Amino acid sequence: MRPYALHQPGSLAEALDLLAEHGDEDTHIIAGGTSMVLLMTMGLVQPERVIALRKIPELHGIGTEDDGGLTIGALATHRQLELAPEVRAYAPALSETFGKVATVRIRNQATLGGNLVHADPAQDPPPILIALDASATVRSRSGERTLPVEELFVDYLTTRLQPGEVLTAVHLPPLAPGTRAAYLKFLPRTHDDYATVSVAAALRLDGDGRCEHARVALGGAAGVPLRARVVEDALIGERPTDARIAEAAALVDGIVDPPSDARGSAGYKRRMARVWTERALRSLRDQSAQSDERQ
Amino acid sequence: MTEHTIRLRVNGAPRELTIGSHLRLIDMLRDELGLTGTKEGCSVGVCGACSVLVDGQLLSACLLPAAFVDGAHVTTVEGLAPDDEHLTPLQDAFIRYGGFQCGICTPGQIIAATALLAEQPRPTAEQVREWMTGNLCRCTGYYKIVESILAAAESGTDPVRREDVGVR
């Protein structure tokens, strides 16, 4: 690994000043380190200067808002998010998603902010965050902006963040009662692998059994985590029968663009994207129906 | 390059080291402190051979900048046994139940299992298998590893001396 200068600022203001001063390609930010240390060890990233965020108190913490929303500091680890009662209370599927990432050793170290800015389209958190309408808060010395997680990604390992900007938090809006969410990973190899494809979905039915809210997002299916609006639009106002769900899920074929790799050929992943979208939606439909019967 | 002076406890003993900022924890443990029980396998966080406990948390020493353990309590496989005469019940179970073959992955297996039993003293076989997913054994001696961990958990003795490994 090429030697670098390490800064460990103790406040966000100090970190933003450092970034403004050295906001060039030779300066990198490190959060948990699972991706950055790996990239530096392999020589794929060779920074002159690394700014560690770990000592910045403002970036830690997980909190429920008065309105029922959830705010997560960028440095919350996957393991903290897997175990936090606030996350489970917000949506069990969100806890479960973090619990399914890699291994416990990685979950102890990897942070949510690091995960998002690394922008690997096969990662697990982005699809479920997109399905839950999450937004990211980004700060620089000149101010703060918020953008939907869906819009954070430009391409493989590339985000919309500008030099000098730090992703500081993720916010999830309150979840309307009756909304159910799920995240399914297709793992034909090992438990801790990246998914061949993954699907997150959120669904809410009205009193008449028709879809009044639908979100679908896919991982590993393109250069970015992909929101499947065509599928959502095909469901809104409809009764989610098996046939309707199958028709809607088939529409992912027109938007996915998966790479061929060790986890499957592009053609196979394309098929699996449809199959797993259908499974996710059917599972949510069945959960909603069961809860109606109980009432 | 910058150098950092860090103070930490390694296997209970206070240490002060001046290290290059780019040094990984595994380099510091093996090359600076001579603690070669922690092995470097894949170097990318997948194989688990470099598993260590940092303030009781299971981490990959190959993915952690050594500067990040300033002020922390690091436990390696050398720090588990209470003295030269005794092993922990978990280490003992690995011997009694043959939880190793060539041995290269064993320190990481034992550290990972120590973290599991600290958090979940009576895990089910399924919980053991899930937790240990991140520790590869290329001899494929997985059955005996799971058996060893379950035996230690069922031995009725505390398999982990919590205060010594910094487990909260």
B84 domain-assigned:
no
Q: Residue A163: its pLDDT value, please?
A: 92
Give the tens place of pLDDT for each residue, A110-121.
Answer: 999 999 999 999
Could you tell me which of A148, A212, A176 has the C-alpha nearest to residue A90?
A176
Could you give the domains of chain A?
5-52 (3.30.43.10), 58-172 (3.30.465.10), 180-290 (3.30.390.50)
B115 domain-assigned:
yes
Q: What is the mean pLDDT of chain B?
A: 93
Contact: B21, A50; criterion CB under 8 Å? yes
Q: Of B50, B79, B108, which residue sits at a domain end?
A: B79
Amino acid identity, position A229 = R
Contact: A6, B62; criterion CB under 8 Å? no
| Chain B contact present for A262, CB below 8 A | no
CATH number for the domain that contains residue B100: 1.10.150.120
For residues B100 and B146, state if they share a domain. yes
pLDDT tier for residue A186 given thresholds of 50, 70 and 90: very high
Q: Residue B118: its pLDDT value, please?
A: 94
Q: Which residues of B touch A192 (CB under 8 A)?
A: 46, 133-134
pLDDT tier for residue A1 given thresholds of 50, 70 and 90: confident
- Cβ(B75)–Cβ(B11) under 8 Å? yes
Structural domains in chain B (count): 2
| Chain A contact present for B52, CB below 8 A | no
Give the residue on A whose Cα is nearest the Cα of B128.
Answer: A104
How much of chain A exceeds pLDDT 90, in percent?
93
For residues B27 and B71, state if they share a domain. yes
Which stretches within A12-151 are classed as H helix? 12-21, 34-41, 78-83, 85-90, 92-99, 104-109, 112-118, 125-131
pLDDT at A159 over 50: yes
Q: Residue A109: its pLDDT value, please?
A: 98
Copy the structure tokens of residue B154: 């069922």
Contact: A106, B134; criterion CB under 8 Å? yes
| Chain B contact present for A1, CB below 8 A | yes
B105 domain-assigned:
yes
- Cβ(A69)–Cβ(A172) under 8 Å? yes
Could you tell me the maximum CA-CA distance found in chain B, to the nearest angstrom?
A: 50
Could you tell me which of B147, B11, B149, B142 has the C-alpha nearest to residue B72?
B11
Q: Of B55, B79, B103, which residue sits at a domain end?
A: B79
For residues B75 and B8, state if they share a domain. yes
For residues B9 and B71, state if they share a domain. yes
pLDDT at B150 over 70: yes
Q: Residue B168: its pLDDT value, please?
A: 41
Domain that holds residue B34: 3-79
Could you tell me which of A84, A37, A40, A36 has the C-alpha nearest to residue A60?
A84
Amino acid identity, position B109 = Q
- Cβ(A232)–Cβ(A201) under 8 Å? no
B167 domain-assigned:
no
Nearest CA-CA distance, residue A290 and chain B, Å: 28
Nearest CA-CA distance, residue B112 and chain A, Å: 8
For residues B105 and B142, state if they share a domain. yes
pLDDT tier for residue A192 given thresholds of 50, 70 and 90: confident
pLDDT, mean of residues B116-138: 96
For residues B156 and B122, state if they share a domain. yes
* Residue that has been written with the tokens 């046994």 in this structure: B81
pLDDT at A69 over 90: yes
From the list A34, A37, A105, the residue facing B51 with the nearest CB is: A105
For residues B72 and B8, state if they share a domain. yes
For residues B64 and B105, state if they share a domain. no
Q: Report CA Rg, chain A.
A: 19
From the list B2, B22, B68, the residue facing A1 with the nearest CB is: B22
Could you tell me which of A281, A212, A217, A197 has the C-alpha nearest to residue A247?
A281
Give the tens place of pLDDT for each residue, B73-97.
Answer: 999 999 999 998 999 999 999 999 9
- Cβ(A159)–Cβ(A117) under 8 Å? yes
Q: What are the Cα distances from residue A217, in Å, to A57, A155, A182, A224?
A: 32, 16, 11, 10
Burial class (CB in 10 A: 0-12, 13-18, 19+), A66: exposed
SS3 track for chain B: CCEEEEEEEECCEEEEEEEECCCEHHHHHHHHCCCCCCCCCCCCCCCCCCEEEECCEEEECCCCEHHHHCCCEEECHHHCCCECCECCHHHHHHHHCCCCCCCCCHHHHHHHHHHHHHHCCCCCHHHHHHHHHHCCCCCCCHHHHHHHHHHHHHCCCCCCCHHHHCCC
Distance CA B163, CA B9 (A): 13
CA A295 to chain centroid, in Å, comes to: 33
Contact: B60, A106; criterion CB under 8 Å? yes
